Chains A and B, each alone.
Chain A
Amino acid sequence: MNKQPEKYQVFEKENEILRHSKDVLASPELLSAQAWQQEYERLAQSYAQLLGEVKLLTSVSDRLQNKLNKANENIARKNEELTQTLEMLTRERIGKRATTIVLILAAFFFIVSELVIDPQLQQSAKIFGASGLIVLKVTVAIALKPIEMILENLLLKTAVRKKMS
C-alpha cells in the first residue's frame, strides 16, 4: 500500500484495519469458517467505532465551520464600522483644514480691504451711498461659507484620489 501523506497518518489505525482485511480477503483458503466469523465480527466492531468517530468529527467540523463563519461576519462588520469611522475622521480633519484656510483668507482680505480697497470704496460710497457699502461687505462675508464648502469638497476629492492611488 502507498505511504499515506503525513496529514492522513492520523488514520493509521483505520489503515491498519483495512490492510489486514485486504490481506485476509487475498487468501480466503487460509481461514476456517470460525476464523472468518471472528474476522467479520472484528471488522463490524471496527466499522461501528469508525462510524461513531466519523459522526463526531462531522459534527465537530460543522460546529467549527459555523464558529469561523460567525467570526468572519464579525470581522466584516467591524471592518465596515472602522471604514465609516475613518471616513468621518477624514471628513472632520479636512473640514477643519478648510475652515483654517478660509479664516486665513478672510484675515488676508480684511487687511487688504482695510489698507487698499476701503479708501477707494469710501470714494464709491459717495456715489452708491453708505448702505451700498454695507451690502457689499455683507456679500463678501456671506460668500466665505460657500468658499469654505467648495474648498472642503476639493480637499476631500484630493484625499480620496490620494487614497485610491
Chain B
Amino acid sequence: MENFFLEETSKTPKLSFDVSTGKFLMSGRSIPENSIEFYKPLFEWLDEYVKKPCPKTTFDIKLEYFNTSSSKCLVEIFRRLEKIKDAEIVINWFYEEDDEDMQESGEDFRELIDIPIVMHMIAN
C-alpha cells in the first residue's frame, strides 16, 4: 500500500497520509467544486488502511476554512477511522488563536465522533 499525498491548492487542502508512520495531515482550505470527487480517492485509500493500520495513527488537521460538503466528507473520513480497532488513534485539531469558528467546529466534531479529538490552539 502506497502513501497518499496531494499538494495544496487555493481550493483544496494538502493531504499527506503516510502508511509507514501512521502520520496523517490535512492542512489549508477545503472548498473544492465537487467535494466527493476530491475526497473519494482518499475514502478508498482509508478503506484499505483501516484493514491493516499502524499501531498508532495520528491525524493532524490544520484547516483554515472548509465548506459544508467538506465537513460531511470529514465526517466520512472520521467514520472510516472509527473502524480501527486494536490500534491507537488520535486526531489533533489545530485552530488559530483568534479563530473561534474553527475551534467550535472542532468541538462539534469531537461530540459526534467516537475518536479522541485533541484541540490545539496556535498562538498568533
Q: Which residues of A contact B (CB under 8 A)?
A: 6-7, 9-13, 52-53, 55-57, 59-61, 63-64, 66-67
Across the interface, do A60 and B36 meet the contact criterion of CB distance under 8 Å?
A: no
Q: How large is the interface on B (under 10, 10 to 19, 20 to 34, 35 or more residues)?
A: 20 to 34
B residues less than 8 Å from A10 (CB atoms) = 35-36, 69, 72-73, 76
What 0/1 pattern do residues 8 to 31 of B give for CB contact below 8 A with A? 000000000000000000000000
Q: Select B109's contact among A9, A13, A56, A63, beta carbons within 8 Å.
A: A56
Interface of B is mostly: helix
A-B pairs with beta carbons under 8 A, tally? 53
- Specify the chain B residue showing the minimal Cβ separation from A12: B36
**With known contacts A56-B108, A56-B112, A59-B108, A64–B101 Cβ distance under 8 A:** yes
Across the interface, do A7 and B112 meet the contact criterion of CB distance under 8 Å?
A: no
Q: List 26 A-B contacts (CB under 8 A).
A: A6-B34, A6-B36, A6-B37, A10-B35, A10-B73, A10-B76, A11-B72, A53-B72, A53-B112, A55-B112, A56-B75, A56-B111, A57-B68, A57-B71, A59-B104, A59-B105, A60-B108, A61-B71, A63-B101, A63-B104, A64-B65, A64-B66, A64-B68, A64-B101, A66-B101, A67-B65
